[in-house]
Amino acid sequence: MAMLPEAGPAAGGNRAIVTVIGVDRVGIIAAVATMLAEAQVNILDISQSIMQEFFVMIMMVDLARSPSGFDELKAALNERGNAMGLKIDIQREDVFKLMHRV
Amino acid sequence: MSISSYSPQEIVETIRMVQMERLDIRTITMGISLRDCVSENHARLADRIYDKVCRMGSGLTAAGAAIAREYGIPVTNTRVSVTPVAIIAEGVGDCAGRDAMLGVARALDRAAREIGVNFIGGYSALVHKGATPGDLALIDSIPEALASTERVCGSVNIGSTKSGINMDAVAMMGRVVKRAAELTAAADGLGAAKLVVFCNAVEDNPFMAGAFHGVGEADGVLNVGVSGPGVVLRAVQAAPAADFGELASIIKRTAFKITRMGELVGRAASARLGVPFGIVDLSLAPTPAIGDSVARILESMGLSRVGAHGSTAALALLNDAVKKGGAMASSHVGGLSGAFIPVSEDIGMIEAAGMGALSFDKLEALTAVCSVGLDMIAIPGDTPASTIAAIIADEAAIGMINRKTTAVRLIPAPGKKVGDLIEFGGLLGHAPVMAVNRESSAAFIGRGGRIPAPIQALNN
């Protein structure tokens, strides 16, 4: 996957990364996207790939307009993941930015 | 910015580190100055200390939990360190010094429980050159303070490169360590596990039991201790054919990533709590959990067991590479920053000690190149106090000459013999009782006085 240049710091601090890991099946993206839409969370980008036999979907989302609290959203995603036999989580973007970029 | 600025491999790597390799923030430790709590009245002193710790630390545990949820990185412990109590309680005039000190210990314990931190450090004295009456009162009270409180941790600095070693204090600490274990005999000598004897103690260490808030620090500060032996282990295991140069490079890169997490968490906690960020401590701190072992890293470099010849070289490489990678990743690195080698808290060390592959003497050698010292080692309960003092003196000498922090945290397990097992549970783990040299050091320790500061001190 191509690595595009990063945007400047003006990009804002309310972004998070949603990760979905599990066995591939029909309807994963639809289910997660619907949940995020209901919570007024804007999806900025989606990537998916198969790594070590696991389906890995990664979404960058913007929480700026969402009335839901972070914890609330996280709990809802975790719960939905459990129901679908997937691991769904959300983490603030800074984690990835700091760990992998000097 | 788009998601494309991270590759899926990078995102999965981060998640794997946390979920499978036990990457965690070992501790967010808030340092709190007690200098404005001083009073001549023992009750007022205790009240002021309780109030200040509760006021400053009230949001600490909640902030740690919130950061863990939002960033997806576990925060294992939140803790508090305070100004060495010997300094703060020395001026009490309405009761015996010892009672004033014990009053503070109880106030700290209550405050720790109130704000929900599992340990509070700083029941401490700095006596590397000499001891004041307050220092002596505190040292004398340590065994009772640790036995009668749940969360209070103590430490005593008995030497430094600049001042030499206070051998009178060393002799005293031999007795104090033994007494601390005896007073907690029912818990296998747990009191001694909450007591660290230092040479070259640092003022911003976030790790217990040796954390205290130095007198050169601000009113409040947040220091973060990262962990991640499992992450380093996985990286080393993935490169079985790498030569030492490559190996060092792999460890450096891993340490960089771990440290960045520490910095992120420290700054996030600082912003939430309105307390300045201090340092990230880069130490690789093991736990008894499977896959969270420093010993296993050394073994994965090609040693059949930790303790084998080559272990010291392996640890030197690991420790140095962790520092190099970490120093690049954070603008403020401090504390102890290296690999810890506590026996009871590391499953690989426990196994090697139990089967005789790892001896007390080899552990002492390892401490010359690791970040701290003889840590969480159970020794026979009948070990003479003078022998414990002599072990402290040896360890302090290594620190003094090599300009590094060394520490001793021994548990002379009451009633236990070599090969018996002691069990603390939780992060403190369990350990086989190890043999120490049975020859006597009593006449040596009996000399008293100070070992002069070494030539290394004359660098002005």
Q: What is the mean pLDDT of the segment spanning B381-410?
A: 97
Q: Residue B208 falls within a domain, yes or no?
A: no
Which of A46, A99, A102 lies nearest to residue B261, judging by beta carbons? A99
Confidence label for B103 from pLDDT (cuts 50, 70 and 90): very high
Closest CA to B280 of B213, B336, B224: B224
Q: Specify whether B421 is located in the same domain as B329.
A: yes
Look at residues B343, B348, B329, B359 and name the one whose alpha carbon lies nearest to residue B413.
B343
Specify whether the CB–CB gap between A55 and A20 falls below 8 A. Answer: yes
What lies within 8 Å, CB to CB, of B241 at 6+ separation is none
Instruction: Give chain A positions within 8 Å (CB) of B14.
Output: 95-96, 99-100
How open is the CA angle A96-A99-B1, to the nearest 5 degrees? Answer: 40
ipTM exceeding 0.85, yes/no: no
Q: Is B37 domain-assigned? A: yes
Distances (CA, A) of A38 to A19, A35, A92, B408: 18, 5, 20, 57
pLDDT of residue A1: 35
What pLDDT score does B55 carry? 97
Question: pLDDT, tens digit, for every residue of B33-42?
Answer: 999 999 999 9
Quick one: fold of A26-100?
A: Alpha-Beta Plaits (3.30.70)
Question: Of B293-302, B330-339, B341-350, which range is least confident?
Answer: B330-339
Between CA B403 and CA B416 the distance in angstroms is: 35
Minimal Cα distance from B17: which residue of A? A99
Closest-CA distance, B318 to chain A, in angstroms, reads 20
Residue of B4, B21, B234, B264 to mutate for A, most A C-beta atoms under 10 A:
B4
Alpha helix positions (H), B301-457: 311-329, 347-354, 360-366, 385-402, 442-446
Do B36 and B74 fall within a single domain?
yes
Residue A5: the pLDDT is: 34
State whether B277 and B394 are in the same domain.
Answer: yes
The pLDDT, as a whole number, for residue B17 is 78
Chain mean pLDDT for chain B? 93
Q: Is it the case that residue B225 has pLDDT exceeding 60?
A: yes
The answer to whether residues B117 and B236 belong to one domain is: no
| Tens digits of residue pLDDT in B247-256 | 999 999 999 9
Cα separation of B213 and B81, whole Å? 5
| Torsions phi, psi for B216 (to 5 deg) | -90, 10
From residue B381, alpha-carbon distances to A73, B65, B185 in Å are: 54, 40, 10
Average the pLDDT over B164-178 and give the result.
Answer: 98
Least CB–CB distance from A3: residue in B4, B72, B73 = B4
**Domain co-membership, B162 together with B75:** yes
Find the mean pLDDT for residues B84-113: 96
Q: How far apart are CA A74 and CA B127, in angstroms?
A: 50
Q: How is chain A split into domains, by residue range?
A: 26-100
Q: Which residue of B has its CA nearest to A75?
A: B69
Strands A54-62, A42-51: pairing is antiparallel
Asked whether residue B294 is assigned to any structural domain, the reply reads yes
Per-residue pLDDT of chain A (102 residues; tens, 9 = 90+): 333 333 333 344 689 999 998 888 888 888 899 999 999 999 999 988 877 677 888 899 999 888 888 899 999 999 999 988 888 999 998 888 888 776
Residue B412 lies in a domain: yes
Given this model, what pLDDT does residue A9 score?
Answer: 33
Chain A residues with CB-CB distance to B under 8 A? 1-7, 11, 15, 17, 19, 21, 44-47, 49, 51, 56, 58-60, 70-71, 74, 89-92, 94-96, 98-100, 102
In a domain, B3, yes or no: no
B110-125 confidence digits (pLDDT tens): 999 999 999 999 999 9
% of chain B with per-residue pLDDT over 70: 99
Residue B213 lies in a domain: no
Domain holding B124, by residue range, is 32-199
| Average pLDDT, integer, range B314-331 | 92
Q: B72, A95: Cβ pair inside 8 Å?
A: yes
Residue A58 C-alpha, separation from nearest chain B C-alpha, in angstroms: 7
CA distance B260 to chain A (A): 6
The pLDDT of residue B370 is 86
Structural domains in chain B (count): 2
Same domain, B244 and B194: no
Is B209 part of any domain? Answer: no
- Domain end, chosen from B199, B234, B249, is at B199
φ, ψ of residue B453 to 5 degrees: the values are -60, 140
Residues B338, B369: Cα–Cα separation, whole Å: 9
* B387 in the same domain as B263: yes
Q: Could you tell me if B310 and B164 lie in one domain?
A: no
**Closest among B146, B72, B165, B158 to B105, alpha carbons compared:** B146
Looking at the structure, do residues B107 and B172 belong to the same domain, yes or no? yes
Domain co-membership, B177 together with B237 = no
Last residue of a domain, one of B167, B199, B231: B199
CATH (domain of B248): 3.20.70.20
Cα-based distances in Å from B163 to B23, B158, B171, B216, B382: 38, 10, 17, 18, 32
CA torsion, ordered B63, B65, B70, B76, to nearest 10 deg:
120
**Alpha-carbon span B104 to B342, nearest angstrom:** 29
Q: Could you give the 3-state DSSP secondary structure of residue B156? A: strand
- Show residues of chain B in contact with A77, CB under 8 Å: none
